[in-house]
């Protein structure tokens, strides 16, 4: 660990903020942070964005909590926060938890885990145990306001919800991108540092980019074709593309055919989705649909890629499914230049078959939504807290989440949180959500933890392995230990239990599995990953690396991968371009791709009905992202919020004229569940009939301790999202395409 008072390079750190995971070189000069892209990172090659350069400021944010706090007082406006020691914080949690469980049982406990967990191997390893220890079905996460439709589609198609094909950006000839704006977001479910540079390279080598987005985004501006689709109709469009490919005998699945079940039933299933019907509902016209299908069929290689705008809609799972069906029909699934399965350093090859994927093993108490991957829709959390009866939520644990800004009908959720008997938040800030907690447990800042992107390296456009060490020391416990201590307390251990027993049990259990897989002695495997200053999270990572597809197999392959190799080289390793993985990657029971799984088949009827729904006259709301934001939690860093107001309602000039709105004026936006008063930005970058607000704003709730964010709070767009409108297969909320009414505020 390093001294921050002298000038020079402190070391290298993988940026934990977005999915790109850029390598950063972090140093000090004249008492200031100097953060550059790491040119020796073989994957990000020196790229970074303004958020990465602000990592030092984020770490030093004076509002970031340095010790646990306990809330004294119920009204957030007047409550005070008492800094306490860790033992005292856990004692408070244990007392309240004992009371809740005694009175209401474990079904009254709930957990919500947010987005930054996906960027932490500590949390990835320790959260499952914490969730198990709760012994509840009330498990919620940001996945049901995000990528759950893709897990469902991959689960149904390939038998593995984590087998998500990524577009082979660096080799494709045609990229069809729907509902994504990587020039702001840097990509999602497609780990690709310098996404902009990779798109530029695609075009320079003669490839084409087609962007489908109701807004002329920065990404749309560099595209060859921009199709300004009507929100919520990507599934219709994609199924329409499948229709044309099949109708005109353009489908060339090639070697994929032998692995696919139900290829011959597809034409009937997609029959209603004629170019005429789809052209009308999407607003793109039949010719655009026909042309796009032909272009996909004609391209030497092509990849269809869909994200937030296509997934967080009422037909999110169908859109996710149809994406890969088109990739199959054009023969592009699992081939270079198409959509491929990553095999990064920590991943293992499969056996080609498995237990398959099911949902609905239980259903939600209110709303009746099916369980998906052990989770219920976060859109239903407020009602689960508010509606009395057996199983009513009385205690909530949040880990790295801000659902009061990020999930539907958030004003109601905020109100619901106020009535809990216990709320514990593992979070570094007192924000809109954590201000409702009784106890807040802060993890170390971003520069004081080691990093390996377990989830996101597995979605990279090259096979990679990158680990970076903690650069700065930290006074309190690391986050793995906070989670382990919570697990222990929830499991009935004494509040001063240090969590090391929980951690050791995890390491031993994994060592046992690895030993069984490799035919080794469990005790020797466990000892082999021990390091003098290694955390249990890093030991668990080493177990994965050494037993994975690239691993040294604990001595079996001299040049194989281990954490020691990554510890010796903080720039990371490039393991080469993606390689075909069929059929090994499949985990369906019969080892085939299930092209028309039953849940999809019946949901297609709902989609067909929607082709003819009357949409006239309705304004709809969509979201957007900005390069300098990261969901709700970077608005307290001065360099990231300076400049023009960003939380504005974008309106097309035609709509503005009709509604009497003017640029810089204000509008009242109403949905089925809420209303907002927001500044207006008139711009022809948006499709007529569509308005857009970014999410993650609204920092002016009483009791929020974010001094910089509070100066320009913006409004919370999720006050408008309707928890009653979800994608039924995945439980994912409709965040895009929400019907609204807009009027001028005089």
Ligand X SMILES: Nc1nc2c(c(=O)[nH]1)N[C@H]1C(S)=C(S)[C@@H](COP(=O)(O)OP(=O)(O)OC[C@H]3O[C@@H](n4cnc5c(=O)[nH]c(N)nc54)[C@H](O)[C@@H]3O)O[C@H]1N2
Residues that bind ligand X (CB under 6 A): 18-19, 114-116, 142, 145-146, 178-182, 184-186, 188, 212-215, 217, 229, 231-232, 234, 307-310, 313, 399-403, 406, 426-429, 431, 443, 479, 622-627, 629-633, 695-696, 717-718, 721, 735-737
Instruction: Find which of ligand X, ligand SF4, Mo ion, none residue 373 binds, CB within 5 to 8 Å per kind.
Output: none
CB of 192 to Mo ion, least distance (A): 16
Residue of 182, 98, 209 lying closest to 490 (CA atoms) = 98
Instruction: Quote the tokens at residue 607.
Output: 């989609």
CB under 5 A: which stretch of 146-154, 312-320, 327-335, 385-393 binds Mo ion?
146-154
CB of 35 to ligand SF4, least distance (A): 9
Q: In terms of CB distance, is 168 or 479 closer to ligand X?
A: 479
Map residue 408 onto helix, strand or coil.
coil
CB of 405 to ligand SF4, least distance (A): 19
CB of 630 to ligand X, least distance (A): 5
Q: What are phi and psi of 375, to 5 degrees?
A: -115, 155
Instruction: Quote the tokens at residue 398.
Output: 């949040």
CB of 17 to ligand SF4, least distance (A): 4
CB under 5 A: which stretch of 143-151, 356-364, 397-405, 432-440 binds Mo ion?
143-151
Binding test (CB under 6 A) with ligand SF4, winner from 52, 155, 279, 703: 52
Instruction: Quote the tokens at residue 142.
Output: 């940001």
Residue with tokens 């032998």: 258
CA–CA separation, 179 vs 402, rounded Å? Answer: 23
Burial class (CB in 10 A: 0-12, 13-18, 19+), 558: exposed
**Per CB under 6 A, 51 contacts ligand SF4:** yes
Instruction: Find which of ligand SF4, ligand X, Mo ion, none residue 182 binds, CB within 5 to 8 Å per kind.
Output: ligand X
Residue with tokens 């009357």: 614
Q: In terms of CB distance, is 191 or 410 closer to ligand SF4?
A: 191
CA–CA separation, 70 vs 437, rounded Å? Answer: 8
CB of 276 to ligand X, least distance (A): 20
CA–CA separation, 742 vs 721, rounded Å? Answer: 15
Binding test (CB under 6 A) with ligand SF4, winner from 10, 15, 303, 537: 15
- Is residue 689 within 8 Å of residue 740, measured between CB atoms? no
Q: In terms of CB distance, is 430 or 545 closer to ligand X?
A: 430
Binding test (CB under 5 A) with Mo ion, winner from 146, 290, 371, 384: 146
Q: In terms of CB distance, is 243 or 687 closer to ligand X?
A: 687
Beta-carbon contacts of 727 under 8 Å, excluding residues fewer than 6 positions away, are 148, 149, 313, 314, 315, 316, 317, 733, 734
Binding test (CB under 6 A) with ligand SF4, winner from 2, 13, 21, 165: 21
Instruction: Report 188-227 residues binding ligand SF4 (CB under 6 A).
Output: 193
Instruction: Quote the tokens at residue 194.
Output: 């310098």
CB under 5 A: which stretch of 145-153, 299-307, 407-415, 694-702 binds Mo ion?
145-153
Establish whether the linkage from the previous residue to 583 is cis, with ω within 30° of 0: yes
Q: In terms of CB distance, is 186 or 725 closer to ligand X?
A: 186
CB of 222 to ligand SF4, least distance (A): 17
Q: At what angle do helices 234-247 and 316-329 cross, to 10 degrees?
A: 30
Instruction: Find which of ligand X, Mo ion, ligand SF4, none residue 21 binds, CB within 5 to 8 Å per kind.
Output: ligand SF4
Q: In terms of CB distance, is 166 or 593 closer to Mo ion?
A: 166
End-to-end CA, the chain: 58
**Per CB under 6 A, 22 contacts ligand SF4:** yes
Q: How many residues does the chain have?
A: 746
CB of 413 to Mo ion, least distance (A): 18
- CA 193 to chain CA mean position, Å: 16
Run of H or E including 226: strand 225-227
Q: In terms of CB distance, is 48 or 310 closer to ligand X?
A: 310
CA distances (Å), origin 569, targets 288, 469, 492, 561, 565: 49, 10, 41, 12, 7
Q: CB atoms < 10 A from the CB of 95, how many?
A: 11
Q: At what angle do helices 234-247 and 598-610 cross, to 10 degrees?
A: 100
Q: In terms of CB distance, is 65 or 245 closer to ligand X?
A: 65
Q: In terms of CB distance, is 547 or 718 closer to ligand X?
A: 718
CB of 189 to Mo ion, least distance (A): 9
CB under 6 A: which stretch of 20-28, 483-491, 591-599, 607-615 binds ligand SF4?
20-28
Instruction: Quote the tokens at residue 140.
Output: 């919620």
Q: In terms of CB distance, is 186 or 463 closer to ligand SF4?
A: 186
CB of 370 to ligand SF4, least distance (A): 34
- Is residue 180 within 8 Å of residue 305, measured between CB atoms? yes
**Per CB under 6 A, 680 contacts ligand SF4:** no
Q: In terms of CB distance, is 48 or 245 closer to ligand SF4?
A: 48
- Is residue 651 within 8 Å of residue 714, measured between CB atoms? no
Q: In terms of CB distance, is 120 or 547 closer to ligand X?
A: 120
Q: What are phi and psi of 261, to 5 degrees?
A: -95, 140
Nearest-CB residue for ligand X: 309
CA–CA separation, 701 vs 665, rounded Å? Answer: 23
Map residue 387 onto helix, strand or coil.
coil
What is the 3-state composition of the chain as percent helix, strand, coil, each rounded to the nearest 5?
35, 20, 45
CB under 6 A: which stretch of 11-19, 284-292, 310-318, 691-699 binds ligand SF4?
11-19
CB of 148 to Mo ion, least distance (A): 11
Give contact residues for Mo ion (rule: CB under 5 A). 146
Give contact residues for ligand SF4 (rule: CB under 6 A). 15, 17-18, 20-22, 48-49, 51-52, 186, 193
């Amino acid at each position: 660990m390093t001294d921050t008072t002298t000038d020079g390079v402190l070391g290298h750190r993988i940026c934990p903020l977005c999915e790109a995971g850029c390598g950063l070189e972090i140093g000090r000069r004249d008492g200031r942070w100097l953060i550059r892209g790491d040119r020796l990172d073989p994957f990000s090659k020196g790229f970074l964005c303004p958020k990465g350069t602000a990592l030092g400021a984020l770490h030093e944010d004076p509002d970031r909590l340095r010790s646990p706090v306990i809330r004294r007082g119920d009204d957030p406006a007047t409550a005070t926060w008492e800094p306490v020691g860790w033992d005292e914080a856990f004692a408070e949690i244990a007392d309240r938890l004992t009371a809740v469980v005694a009175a209401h049982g474990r079904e009254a406990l709930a957990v919500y885990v947010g987005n930054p967990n996906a960027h932490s191997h500590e949390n990835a390893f320790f959260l499952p145990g914490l969730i198990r220890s709760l012994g509840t079905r009330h498990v919620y996460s940001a996945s049901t306001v995000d990528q759950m439709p893709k897990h469902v589609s991959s689960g149904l198609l390939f038998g593995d919800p984590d087998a998500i094909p990524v577009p082979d950006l660096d080799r494709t000839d045609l990229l069809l991108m729907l509902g994504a704006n990587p020039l702001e977001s840097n990509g999602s479910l497609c780990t690709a540092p310098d996404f902009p540079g990779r798109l530029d390279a695609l075009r320079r080598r003669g490839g084409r980019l087609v962007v489908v987005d109701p807004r002329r985004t920065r990404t749309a501006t560099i595209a060859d074709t921009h199709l300004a689709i009507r929100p919520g109709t990507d599934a219709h469009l994609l199924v329409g593309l499948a229709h044309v490919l099949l109708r005109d005998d353009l489908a060339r699945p090639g070697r994929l055919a032998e692995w696919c079940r139900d290829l011959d039933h597809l034409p009937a299933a997609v029959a209603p989705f004629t170019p005429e019907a789809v052209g009308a509902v999407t607003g793109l016209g039949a010719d655009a649909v026909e042309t796009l299908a032909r272009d996909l069929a004609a391209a030497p290689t092509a990849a269809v890629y869909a994200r937030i705008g296509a997934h967080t809609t009422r037909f999110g799972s169908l859109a996710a499914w149809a994406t890969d069906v088109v990739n199959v029909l054009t023969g592009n699934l699992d081939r270079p230049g198409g959509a491929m399965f990553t095999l990064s350093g920590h991943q293992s090859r499969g056996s080609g078959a498995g237990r398959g994927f099911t949902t609905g093993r239980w259903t939600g108490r209110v709303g009746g939504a099916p369980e998906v991957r052990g989770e219920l829709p976060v859109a239903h959390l407020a009602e689960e807290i508010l509606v009395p009866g057996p199983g009513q939520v009385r205690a909530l644990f949040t880990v790295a989440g801000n659902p009061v800004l990020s999930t539907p009908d958030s004003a109601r959720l905020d109100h619901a949180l106020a009535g809990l008997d216990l709320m514990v938040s593992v979070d570094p800030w007192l924000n809109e959500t954590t201000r409702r907690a009784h106890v807040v447990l802060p993890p170390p800042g971003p520069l004081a933890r080691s990093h390996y992107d377990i989830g996101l390296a597995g979605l990279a456009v090259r096979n990679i392995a990158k680990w970076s060490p903690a650069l700065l020391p930290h006074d309190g416990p690391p986050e793995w230990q906070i989670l382990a201590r919570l697990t222990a307390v929830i499991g009935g251990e004494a509040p001063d239990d240090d969590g090391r027993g929980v951690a050791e049990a995890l390491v031993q259990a994994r060592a046992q599995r690895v030993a069984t897989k490799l035919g080794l002695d469990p005790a020797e495997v466990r000892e082999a990953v021990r390091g003098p200053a290694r955390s249990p999270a890093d030991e668990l990572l080493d177990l994965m690396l050494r037993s994975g597809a690239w691993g040294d197999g604990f001595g079996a392959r001299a040049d194989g991968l281990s954490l020691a190799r990554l510890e010796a080289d903080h720039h990371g390793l490039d393991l080469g371009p993606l390689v075909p993985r069929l059929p090994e990657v499949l985990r369906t029971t019969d080892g085939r791709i299930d092209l028309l799984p039953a849940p999809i088949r019946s949901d297609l009827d709902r989609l067909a009905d929607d082709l003819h729904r009357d949409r006239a006259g309705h304004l709809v709301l969509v979201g957007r992202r900005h390069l300098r934001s990261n969901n709700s939690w970077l608005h307290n860093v001065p360099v990231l919020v300076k400049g023009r107001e960003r939380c504005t309602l974008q309106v097309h000039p035609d709509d503005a004229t009709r509604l009497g709105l003017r640029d810089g004026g204000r509008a009242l936006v109403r949905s089925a569940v809420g209303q907002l008063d927001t500044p207006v930005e008139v711009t022809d970058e948006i499709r007529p009939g569509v308005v857009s607000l970014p999410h993650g704003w609204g920092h002016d709730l009483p009791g929020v301790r974010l001094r910089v964010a509070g100066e320009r709070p913006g409004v919370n767009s999720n006050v408008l999202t309707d928890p009653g409108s979800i994608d039924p297969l995945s439980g994912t909320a409709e965040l895009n395409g929400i019907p609204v009414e807009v009027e001028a505020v005089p």
